[in-house]
Copies of this chain bind each other. A is one copy, B any other.
Amino acid sequence: MVVDQVPRELSDDEIDRIFGALADATRRDILRQSLLREQSVSELGRNYAMSFAAVQKHVAVLERALLVTKERRGREQIVHSNPAAIRRAARLLDAYEELWRDRIARIGDILSEATHPGNDQKDTAP
């Protein structure tokens, strides 16, 4: 299998590129379009009120973030979406939430200790 050339750890720069790429409505729409159906760059471009070169640049930004790849087919360049990268970004945000939940749990522990000054081990009473 030639599968799974997926980086397990993302560098700061890679994360910068991912979120940077997602921080533009046109690019999010291009990503959305190519998730729905793989299309050539010019085909994608017809949806937007801007020059073809501008669309090319947007696709390049998505590509640098590894959110899409391009594959040459004859004279056109087909844009493939990369759902794995999108999933990775979502999981990244989940990790932040995780921190929050840990903190809440910690606070909970402290409170339950504080309100039971003379208890044994864990024994969190109702």
Contacts and interface: CB of A to CB of B under 8 A. Distances in A.
Interface string A24-67: 11001001100111000000000000000000000000000000
Contact of A28 (B15, B22, B25): B15
A109 interface: no
B24 A23 contact: no
A76 interface: no
Interface of A: prevailing SS = helix
Size category, A interface: 20 to 34
Interface of A: 12, 15-20, 22-25, 28, 31-32, 35-37, 81, 83, 86-87, 89-90, 93-94, 96-97, 99-100, 103
